[in-house]
A and B are shown apart, each in its own frame.
Chain A
Amino acid sequence: MAEVLVYVDHVDGAVRKPTLELLTLARRLGEPVAVALGAGAEATAATLAEHGAVKVLTADAPEFADYLVVPKVDALQAAYDAVSPVAVLVPSSAEGKEIAARLAVRVESGIITDAIDLEAGDEGPVATQSVFAAAFTTKSRISKGTPVITVKPNSAPVEAAPAAGAVEALAVSFSAQATGTKVTARTPRESTGRPELTEAAIVVSGGRGVNGAENFAIIEALADSLGAAVGASRAAVDAGWYPHSNQVGQTGKSVSPQLYIASGISGAIQHRAGMQTSKTIVAVNKDAEAPIFDLVDYGVVGDLFEVVPQLTEEVKARKG
Chain B
Amino acid sequence: MSLRIVVCVKYVPDATGDRHFAEDLTVDRDDVDGLLSELDEYAVEQALQIKEAADGEAEITVLTVGPEDAKDALRKALSMGADKAVHVEDDDLHGTDVMGTSLVLAKAVEKTGYDLVIAGMASTDGTMGVLPAILAERLGVPQVTLLSEVSVADGVVKGRRDGDTASEQLEASLPAVVSVTDQSGEARYPSFKGIMAAKKKPVESLDLDDLDIDAEEVGLEGAWTKVDSAAERPARTAGTIVKDEGEGGKQLAEFLAGQKFI
- The closest CB in chain A to the CB of B21 belongs to A136
Task: Across the interface, name the chain B residue whose C-beta is closest to A102.
Answer: B137
* Residues in B neighbouring A94, C-beta threshold 8 A: 129, 146, 163-164
Interface string of B90-119 (1 = CB under 8 A from A): 000000011100100000000000000000
Given contacts A143-B223, A143-B224, contact A302 B243 (CB under 8 A): yes
Contact check, B140 vs A105: say whether CB atoms are below 8 A apart.
no
> Do B227 and A186 touch across chains, with their CB atoms under 8 A apart?
no
Which residue of chain A has the shortest Cβ distance to B228 in the bound complex? A139
Instruction: Please determine whether B145 and A104 come into contact, CB atoms closer than 8 angstroms.
Output: no
Q: How far is the CB of B35 from chain A (nearest CB, A)?
A: 14
- Most chain B CB inside 10 Å of its own CB: which residue of A105, A294, A301: A105
A318 and B253 contact, Cβ closer than 8 Å, known pairs A68-B144, A251-B38: yes
Q: Is B1 an interface residue (CB 8 A)?
A: no
**A244 close to B (CB within 8 Å):** yes
Distance A141 CA – B224 CA, assembled complex (angstroms): 9
Residues in A92-120 with C-beta less than 8 Å from chain B: 93-95, 97-98, 100-102, 104-106, 109-114
Asked whether any CB of chain A lies closer than 8 Å to the CB of B153, the reply is: no
- Please classify how large the interface on chain B is, using the bins under 10, 10 to 19, 20 to 34, 35 or more: 35 or more
Q: Which residues in chain B, 178-217, are within 8 Å of chain A measured between CB atoms? A: 181-183
- Which of B49-57, B59-67, B76-84, B233-241 has 4 or more CB atoms under 8 Å from chain A? B233-241
For chain A, what secondary structure do more than half of its interface residues adopt (helix, strand, loop), or is it mixed? mixed
| B225 is an interface residue with CB less than 8 A from chain A | yes
Closest to B157 in A: A181
Quick check: which of A19-27, A34-42, A54-62, A309-317 contacts chain B, the rest being far away? A309-317
Contacting residues of chain B (28-81) with chain A, CB-CB under 8 angstroms? 38-39
Judge whether B229 is part of the interface by a CB distance below 8 angstroms.
yes
A300 B248 Cβ-Cβ under 8 A: yes
Q: Which of A45-53, A127-135, A162-170, A209-217 contacts B (4 or more CB under 8 A)?
A: A127-135
5 new A-B contacts, CB < 8 A, other than A141-B228, A181-B144, A183-B169, are A98-B130, A138-B227, A251-B181, A282-B252, A300-B249
- Residues in chain A within 8 A of chain B (CB atoms): 11, 68-70, 73, 93-95, 97-98, 100-102, 104-106, 109-114, 126, 130-145, 177, 180-189, 196, 198, 202, 226, 244-245, 250-251, 254, 258-259, 269-270, 273, 280-282, 284, 288, 293-303, 306-315, 318-319
29 CB contacts below 8 A, A to B, read: A68-B145, A101-B137, A102-B137, A105-B99, A110-B99, A111-B225, A113-B128, A133-B15, A135-B19, A141-B226, A143-B225, A144-B224, A181-B142, A183-B169, A186-B168, A189-B165, A198-B164, A250-B15, A251-B38, A280-B261, A282-B255, A296-B239, A297-B240, A300-B249, A300-B251, A301-B243, A310-B250, A315-B253, A315-B256
